[in-house]
Chain A
Amino acid sequence: MEFSFEFMFSTIPALLSAAGVTIRVAAIAICLSITVGTLLTVIRALKIRPVNMAIELYISFIRGTPLLVQIFLAFYALPAIGIKLGPVTAGVLAITANNAAFMTEIFRGALASIPPGQIEASASLGLKSRAIWLKVILPQLYMRSLPAIINECTIVVKGTALLAVITVVEVFRTAQQIGSSSFRPFETFVAAGLVFLAMSLVISQFGLWLERRFALRRGV
C-alpha cells in the first residue's frame, strides 16, 4: 500500500482535538510534580535521617523502574489494596509520582549552586526560615533549574502516550483507534508522531523564551 499523505493530513484534526486531553493531563502532572518536588526538597533540607532515607529510597525506586510498570502499579495494584482510581486519575498519579522524583533530583542540583553566603546573609539579617525559602532560595532555584524543568515537561508529554494502555483516550490511543478502523496505521502513527513533535517543539521554544525573559530580569 502506498503511503498516503492525504490520509495522514486528514487524521490530524482528530489527533489535535485529542491533544487537549494530553495537554491537560500533562499540565496537571507537571504542576503537581513541581509542587511535590519542592516540598520534598524543603523536607530533605530539614535533615531528618529516616525521612531523608525514605525520600532516597523513593527516588531510587522511581529512577530504577519503568514508567509503564509504575502506571500498572497505580492502575491495577492500588485497587487491590482498596484505592480505586479512574484511568485518568491513576495516570496523573503515576506520572506525577514519576516526575516528582526527577524534579527533586533537579532541585537538589540547583540547590547546591546557590551561594551559601546568601543564606547566611539573610539569616543574619533576621529572616525567618520560611522567608529564606520563599524569598531567597526558591525563586533562584526555579530560575536556575528552568532548562531542566522544561526538559522534564517534554518528557512528561511523551510519557502521557503510555496512558493509552490504561484506556485514557489521548493522542496515541486516538491514533490507534483511527489506525485500526481505517486499516492505515502507518499514516496515522506518523501523524501522531508529528503531533507529539509539534508539542515538544512548542514547549522547548517556550522554555527558551522564558529563559531569555528571566535573563533580562536578572540583568544578565
Chain B
Amino acid sequence: MDYTVVTNNWPLFAKGIWMTIQVSLAAIVLGFCIAFCIALIRTSRFRVLRIAASVYVEVLRNIPFVILLFIFFYGLPFAGIRLPGQVAGTIALSMFASAYYGEIIRGAMAAVPRGQVEAARAMGFTFSQTLRDVIIPQMWKFALPPMAGTTTMTVKESSILSTITVAELTYQGLIVQGMTFAPFEVFFAVAGLYWIYTAFLSHLFKRAEKHLGSSELAAVYRSPIARKYLTLDAGRRA
C-alpha cells in the first residue's frame, strides 16, 4: 500500500468529489421536480396522459442508466441536439431519478387518507389548495424512508457519467490511476469518498424522518381534540 498516491493527488480527488456532489444534487432536485409532475399526471383524468406517464416510468426503470446516458450524449447530436457532457449527464440522471421518485411520490400521495381529500374538496378547497394544504404536508411521512434509498442510488449512478467524460470522482480516479499505475489505492480511495458521501446523505434522511416523527407528535400534543381521540404513539414508527 502506498498512501502517497492518494495524498499527492488529492486536488484531483477533491475536484472529482465536488463535481459528483454538484451533479448528483442537481439531479436529485431536478429529478424530484419531474417526479412530482409525473406523479400528478398519473392521477390525471385523461387516460392517454396516465398511460404516457406510466410508460415513461416503466421504460426508465427497466433500461440500464448507461444506455439512457449514451442516447443523450452520443445519440442526440445526430438528431441535431448537441449538449455538453455535464448537461447531458445531469439531464439523464434527473430523468433516471425521476422514474424512481415518481413511483414513491405517487404511493405516498395515495397513502394520505382518501376521506381527508374528499373532506377538503367538500369544504370548497380547490385542487391545488388540497394538494398544498392537505396532501403534500402529510405525504412526507410515507415518502421519506424509500426516498433515502433512491437518493443514494442516484449518487451511485452518477459514477457512470465518467463514461461520457464528465470529470466527476470516478473519472478523476481513472485519470490518477493512469498516471500512477496504483489502481488498488486509487479505487479504494474513490470508493471511500463515495461511501462517506452516501453515508452522510442517509444520515440526513434519518434525521429528517426523526424530526418529522417528533413534529407530528408535537402537533398531536398541541391539539386538544387530537389528544382526546388519537393514541399518542401513533406517529412514532417502529
Map CB proximity to B onto A124-155 as digits: 1 under 8 Å, 0 otherwise: 00000000000000000000000000000010
Number of residues on chain B facing chain A (CB within 8 A): 41
Closest to B67 in A: A193
Q: Is the CB of B64 within 8 A of A186?
A: no
Map CB proximity to A onto B44-71 as digits: 1 under 8 Å, 0 otherwise: 0000000000000001001111111011
The answer to the question of A162 belonging to the interface, with a C-beta cut-off of 8 Å to chain B, is yes
Total A-B Cβ pairs within 8 A? 120
The answer to the question of B94 belonging to the interface, with a C-beta cut-off of 8 Å to chain A, is no
B173-191 residues at the A interface, CB under 8 angstroms: 173-174, 177, 182-184, 186-188, 190-191
In angstroms, how far is the closest chain A Cβ from the Cβ of B171? 11
Contact residues of A: prevailing secondary structure: helix
In angstroms, how far is the closest chain A Cβ from the Cβ of B54? 14
When chains A and B are docked, how far (Å) is the Cα of A88 from the Cα of B76? Answer: 31
When chains A and B are docked, how far (Å) is the Cα of A60 from the Cα of B195? Answer: 8
The answer to the question of A181 belonging to the interface, with a C-beta cut-off of 8 Å to chain B, is no
Binds B, one of A31-39, A40-48, A61-69, A208-216: A61-69
In angstroms, how far is the closest chain A Cβ from the Cβ of B88? 13
Binding site for B on A (CB under 8 A): 1, 3, 60-61, 63-70, 72-73, 76-77, 79-81, 154, 158-159, 161-162, 164-165, 172, 175-176, 179, 183-187, 189-190, 192-193, 196-197, 200-201
A-B contact pairs, 9 of them (CB 8 A): A64-B195, A64-B199, A66-B159, A72-B174, A73-B183, A172-B66, A185-B75, A196-B63, A200-B62
